């Protein structure tokens, strides 16, 4: 039986931290509305203590959202938790996301503290957040580099304090997928009460492994994924929502599913990219301009014979209107003939061969040919 993976979207918090991508409250409300339609389970709406604007955004999103859980981030500090509780007051399903550093690097250089003190502070923060809301998620920042025995103690302690979700972020994007699997597996074997909480994956993409690590974490027992659309986020970004959703859709044999309405992925990606002024790289998986574009002769010929020769997903499944046959000097006769047919010309050999010779000269010069170029070619 397929198991549900909770999708926790942090586009409006970790994603929006990207320089130049800040959104105002009105824009954030539009994103939140679309996130609900997309089918995410949890919307991390912001970090309420960070600014009056962020507080207001979380508050307004909490009022607007009806089906998803609305979450606010805090440090393990009284004033942060108070602010999040106040901002989430009107949420139908509120969640406070609180936590602190767990690696020795963070404990020493960020907190000037000790492992013992971090456990005490973590327990306090969870219990304090619990005095406002039932649903409390604890994050162990930089868990990817934390001592594993200590991480197990911290995880057990915050679960016993009442954490409903424990987030084990690879904050610096350091781990390899097999290491992530082994670490989460170790926690499942060494934290006695781990089954009382949901374990969450929150991975950064510094080595391009955020999605792979998230999938490895799921395979080891994590049941929540923290993601952003287009993978936007600090530095090299966060795990891509669209990648995780489509990996689980495409590999049903893994035995997991999400509640994501995949046809909304591309429209939502385009919407957020436009709103934030953050272009999506052309070769980005699932939502990039070239994700369903075929340009070399061998691929185009194979694709035109049967789309499954070169596509493992249908573009319409993710909301992309159609695949594209792009005409360049690497294209073959089959692609040229296909594109000519689409604009009303049907050429067979030997006319097609003659046209193809002229096509190559034009394509070498103009790089990519559009319908107007083709009409000029036909004359
Ligand atoms: O990357 C990280 O560790 C975070 C936490 C604040 C959850 O974003
Ligand atoms: Zn993060």
Tens-place pLDDT, residues 231-280: 999 999 999 999 999 999 999 999 999 999 999 999 999 999 999 999 99
Reply yes or no on whether the pLDDT at 159 is more than 90. Answer: yes
Proportion of the chain above pLDDT 70, given as a percent: 100
Q: Where are the domains of the chain?
A: 3-276, 293-378
Contacts 24+ apart (CB under 8 A), 128-134: 128/78, 128/81, 129/74, 129/81, 129/84, 129/85, 129/96, 129/98, 130/161, 130/162, 132/81, 132/84, 132/85, 132/88, 132/94, 132/96, 133/85, 133/88, 133/94, 133/95, 133/96, 134/164
Q: Are 323 and 303 in contact (CB under 8 A)?
A: yes
Reply yes or no on whether the pLDDT at 314 is more than 90. Answer: yes
Give residue 90's pLDDT.
Answer: 98
The protein residue with its alpha carbon nearest to ligand 1, atom 2, reads 171
Does the domain at residues 293-378 carry the CATH identifier 1.10.287? no
The mean per-residue pLDDT over the stretch 107-111 comes to 96
Reply yes or no on whether the pLDDT at 179 is more than 90. Answer: yes
Task: For 269-294, give one letter per residue: b (16+ CB within 10 A) or e.
Answer: bbebbeebeeebeeebebbbeebbbb
Atom of ligand 1 nearest to the CA of 139: 7
Atom of ligand 1 nearest to the CA of 10: 8
Give residue 13's pLDDT.
Answer: 98
Give residue 379's pLDDT.
Answer: 87
Q: Which residues line ligand 1 (CB under 6 A)?
A: 14, 139, 141, 167, 169, 171, 202, 204
pLDDT digits (tens, 9 = 90+) for 1-11: 999 999 999 99
The residues whose Cβ lies within 5 A of ligand 2, an ion, are 14
Proportion of the chain above pLDDT 90, given as a percent: 98
Task: For 186-216, give one letter per residue: b (16+ CB within 10 A) or e.
Answer: ebeeebeebeebbbbbbbbbbeebbbbbbbb
Q: Tokens in use for 350?
A: 């030997």
Distance CA 53, CA 51 (A): 5
Provide the CATH number for the domain formed by 3-276 in this structure.
3.20.20.70
ipTM: 0.99
């Amino acid at each position: 039986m397929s198991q549900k993976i909770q999708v926790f979207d942090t586009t409006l918090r970790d994603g929006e931290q990207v320089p130049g991508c800040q959104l105002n409250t009105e824009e954030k409300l539009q994103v939140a509305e679309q996130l609900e339609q997309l089918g995410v389970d949890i919307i991390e709406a912001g970090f309420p203590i960070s600014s009056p604007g962020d507080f207001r955004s979380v508050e307004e999103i909490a009022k607007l959202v009806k089906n998803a859980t609305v979450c606010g981030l805090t440090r393990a500090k009284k004033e942060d938790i108070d602010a999040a509780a106040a901002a989430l007051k009107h949420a139908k399903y509120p969640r406070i996301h609180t936590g602190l550093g767990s690696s020795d690097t963070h404990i020493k250089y960020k907190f000037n503290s000790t492992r013992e003190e971090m456990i005490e502070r973590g327990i306090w923060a969870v219990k304090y957040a619990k005095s406002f809301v039932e649903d409390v998620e604890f994050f162990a920042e930089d868990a990817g580099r934390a001592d594993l025995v200590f991480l197990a103690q911290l995880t057990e302690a915050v679960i016993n304090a009442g954490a409903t979700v424990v987030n084990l972020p690879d904050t610096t994007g350091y781990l390899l997928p097999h290491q992530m699997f082994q670490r989460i597996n170790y926690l499942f074997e060494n934290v006695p009460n781990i089954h009382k909480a949901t374990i969450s994956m929150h991975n950064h993409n510094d080595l391009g492994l955020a999605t792979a690590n998230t999938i490895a974490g799921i395979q080891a027992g994590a049941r929540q994924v923290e993601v952003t659309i287009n993978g936007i986020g600090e530095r090299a970004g966060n795990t891509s929502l669209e990648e995780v959703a489509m990996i689980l859709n495409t590999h049903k044999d893994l035995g997991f599913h999400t509640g994501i309405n995949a046809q909304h992925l591309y429209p939502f990606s385009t919407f957020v990219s436009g709103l934030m002024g953050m272009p999506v790289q052309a070769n980005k998986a699932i939502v990039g301009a070239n994700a369903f574009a075929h340009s070399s002769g061998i691929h185009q010929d194979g694709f035109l014979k049967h789309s499954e020769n070169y596509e493992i997903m249908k573009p319409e499944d993710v909301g992309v209107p159609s695949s594209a046959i792009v005409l360049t000097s690497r294209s073959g006769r089959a692609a040229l003939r296909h594109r000519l047919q689409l604009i009303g010309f049907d050429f067979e050999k030997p006319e097609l061969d003659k046209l193809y010779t002229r096509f190559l000269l034009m394509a070498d010069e103009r790089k990519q040919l559009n319908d107007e170029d083709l009409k000029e070619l036909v004359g």
